[in-house]
Each structure stands twice: as structure tokens, then as C-alpha cells.
Amino acid sequence: MLLGQGMTTPRPAPVTRTYPVNGIDLAVHQWASDGAGVPLVFAHATGFHGRVWGALIDHFADHPAYGIDMRGHGLSRAAPITDWRVLASDVAEFLAQSGLSGVVGIGHSMGAHTLLQTAADHPEAFSRLVLFDPVILAPDYYGDGTPIFTADNPHPAIRRKRDFASAEAMIERFRARDPYDLFDARVFADYCRYGLVPAASGEGMELACPPEVEASVYASSRSNGAILDAARTVDIPVLVVRAQHTNLNDFKSSPTWPELAAILPQGTDLYRPDMTHFHPFQDPADAAKIIAEFIV
């Protein structure tokens, strides 16, 4: 059941479990439900974590929900990555170990790319997908897979501030900055509070997704050039939600190939030029409404 806008009641805090997958402990936050709704599995964008979906999950009181901390993010500690397909393998292993199949997958950006690849590799995993601005670009973007960024020319994310005295210090630093000033207040607070872990030095906090991991995700964004072929095999209902497009140098711009839905056997395109790439966190109630209408 989707609760009305302004009527959501915060759900109890999730229980966090870890699953041994591909050499790491994958952390998954699990919101229990007494309802009989189909399970919802959420996969986040680069630099985020599974708890950032909490405000949106509150709209689905009857559905058990799972927010994955993707490899190298949140509590899923891992080294930098070189191939996005390992992310899909991680998700598939989690679903298998938890006995989940036929679930609804909801992904954003890198997480949406990951869920589509997982669905292609494991047709039984999902019954439907809702993909908010997946990082799946036009065919010519992938070329021969050569990384855009290298060790000698790393992605600018590698220079992100790593250390903070507290979550409150992070909130204060970024509250008025682009693009965080677009975020719903609850989402922004969760992004900061659960995006930090105790610092290795023993003093203060540090980013749960280290800058070198975040930079490696961007650097390897061409690694799965087969994603468009994979998309053509995903024969379940898939909703592609695209935001406004300006240019790829703007994090608020949609990176999604406009023809993506057209190559999906049961794809539907929803163009929302009134939203940025951060749609689910800019307006979680609107994103929840889109999801609810699609999975009914």
C-alpha cells in the first residue's frame, strides 16, 4: 500500500545483515513488514548507500524492503572496482542467499544499471524493474571500453573531503551546496548520517565510500559495454525514468540513453524534465508514487 503524500509514518529502523559475496561482506539493510506486498530491493547510485532510500521506503508499509550497500559503499567495505559487472554478481549472490526471487527492483544511476544487468543474468530474480536515470548511455559511449580516467588522470571525486568531525559537521558543510540543496531534508540527513563510519585514525568520522572507490566507479563506467545487448534480453516490465539532460559534466543531468526503453522487450519510458538526476532524493514522495503506480 502506498500511503498518501504527507501521511507517511517512519518505519522501524532496518536490521542490517551481511552476506559473503565475491570476497567481501555485502551489507543489506532490511525493513520488515507485516503486509503481504512483494519484496522491494533497492540499489543506490555511486557514492551513496542503502539507507538513503529510507524516506521513500516509508511510503510502502506493506512491503518488506531491502537497501543494499553496494560494493565499496556504506558498510560493504571493498577495494576500488574495475568492472561494473561485479556489482551485478554481488546483487545476484545476495538474492540467492536470501532466497529472494520475483522481487521488484528499484535502482538509481549506477544501481539501476546494476539491477538491469542482474535481471539479464538471472531472469528469475525480478518481476519488475523501476530504473531512475540508469547510467546506460548510447552505444557509441562504450567504444572499446577504454577507461575515461586513469591513475595519472583520476576522476575529480578522488579529491573529495574524506574526514569529518561528525555527521552534523558534514550536514552543515554540504547543506547549502549544489546538488545537496535539492535533496529532501530527511534524505539529506540520512545520506550524511549513514554515509560516515568511524575514522581509521580513531578520531572523528570518514566517508564510508572512500574517494578512491568512488573515483574508480566513474573511471570504469565503460567497463560493461555489453549492457545494451543484455537489456534486449530482459523480458519483464521495466520502467525507465529519465530526468532533464544538459551535459555529462553536470551531475544533475540525465546520463540515460533516450532510446533505452525502446530496446527493452517490455520497456516504458517516463521523461521527467522537471526533475534532475537525483529525482528519488529530490522528491521521494513523487518517486514513490511512480513506483506504486507501476507495480500495482
Tens-digit pLDDT profile for residues 178-207: 999 999 999 999 999 999 999 999 999 999
Q: Which residue has the higher pLDDT, 146 or 240?
A: 240
The pLDDT of 2-11, averaged and rounded, is 60
Question: Which amino acid appears at position 248 of this protein?
Answer: L
Instruction: Count up the domains in the chain and report the number.
Output: 1
CATH code at 108?
3.40.50.1820
Structural element, H or E, at residue 187? helix 185-193
Q: Is residue 190 part of a domain?
A: no
What is the residue whose three cell numbers read 555485502?
26
Q: Is 159 exposed, middle or buried (0-12, 13-18, 19+ CB in 10 A)?
A: exposed
Contact 68, 44 (CB under 8 A): yes
Domain that holds residue 283: 15-156+217-295
Residue 126 resides in a domain: yes
DSSP readout, 78-105? ----S-THHHHHHHHHHHHHHT--SEEE
Reported confidence tier of residue 147, pLDDT bands at 50, 70, 90: confident
Residue 74: inside a domain: yes
What is the pLDDT, as a whole number, of residue 146? 83
Closest to 266 measured CA to CA, from 237, 293, 291, 239: 237
Q: Is 37 within the bounds of a domain?
A: yes
**pLDDT tens, residue by residue, 118-144:** 999 999 999 999 999 999 999 999 988
pLDDT confidence tier of residue 237, bands split at 50, 70 and 90: very high
**24, pLDDT greater than 60:** yes
| Res. 148 pLDDT band, cuts 50 70 90 | confident
Domain-embedded: residue 208? no
Question: Residues 177-206, buried b or exposed e (16+ Cβ, 10 A)?
Answer: eeebebbbebbbbbbbebbbeeeeeeeebb
Q: Is residue 206 part of a domain?
A: no
Evaluate whether residue 119 is within a structural domain: yes
Q: Determine the pLDDT at residue 7.
A: 54
pLDDT band at 3 (very low <50, low <70, confident <90, very high): very low
Q: Tell me if 239 is assigned to some domain.
A: yes
